[in-house]
Structure 1
C-alpha cells in the first residue's frame, strides 16, 4: 500500500503503521531487517515526517521495531 485515505476514519499514521505491521508479520520485512528510512517512507506515502514518526512510535510501543542509534529502525526478532 502506498496511498493514504485522507478522508477515511483511520488517521494516516495508523494506516501506515497497519501496513508496516502487515509487512512485518507476513515476513516481507523479516526480523533483524531495517525498515525503509523516514525519508523513504515520507516519499512512499507522500506524508510529513511527523506522520511517519507517529506510525513508527506506534510500532515501537507494540514491540515490533526498535531504533538502532546511527543505523536506522529495525524489526525486532521476537523469537529470542
Structure 2
C-alpha cells in the first residue's frame, strides 16, 4: 500500500491505516515492535511529525503502546469474554 499525496485524507491517517492493516493481518505480531518514527519516515518518505502523529493515532486506538526508550509495540488483542477474571457463580 502506498500513501496518496493528492488525496483528502491526512498522510498520518493513511499511514496509521496501513500500519493498522499490518497489525490486523499479523505482519506485526502482538508484543512485537512496530517501525520507529525514523523507519516510518524512511518507508513512507514523510516528516518525523507525520510519523509521530501516525503512531500517536494507533496508540489512541489501542493498537499499540509506546515504552519510553524501547519503542512502540503491538498490544495483545483482548479476548472478549474469555479473560478469566470474570467471577463465576458459586
Higher relative contact order (CA 8 A, sep 6+): 1
Q: Which runs of 4+ in 1 moved over 6 A?
A: none
Distance 1:11 1:36 in 2: 19
* Equivalent residue pairs, number: 79
Q: TM-score, normalised by structure 2?
A: 0.82
Secondary structure of the structure 1 residue equivalent to 2:72: strand
Q: What is the match of residue 15 of structure 1?
A: 14
1:58 alignment counterpart: 57
TM-score, normalising length: structure 1: 0.92
RMSD of aligned alpha carbons: 1.1
1:3-56 CA distances to partner (integer Å, 9 max, x unpaired)?
Answer: 321111111101100000000011110100100111111000000011011111
Ranges in structure 2 where 5+ consecutive residues have no aligned partner:
80-90
Q: Which residue matches 1:36? A: 35
- The CA distance in 1 between the partners of 2:57 and 2:50, in whole Å, is 11
CA distance in 1 between counterparts of 2:24 and 2:36 reads: 19
Structure 2 Cα separation of the partners of residues 75 and 7 of structure 1: 30
Aligned to 2:5: 6
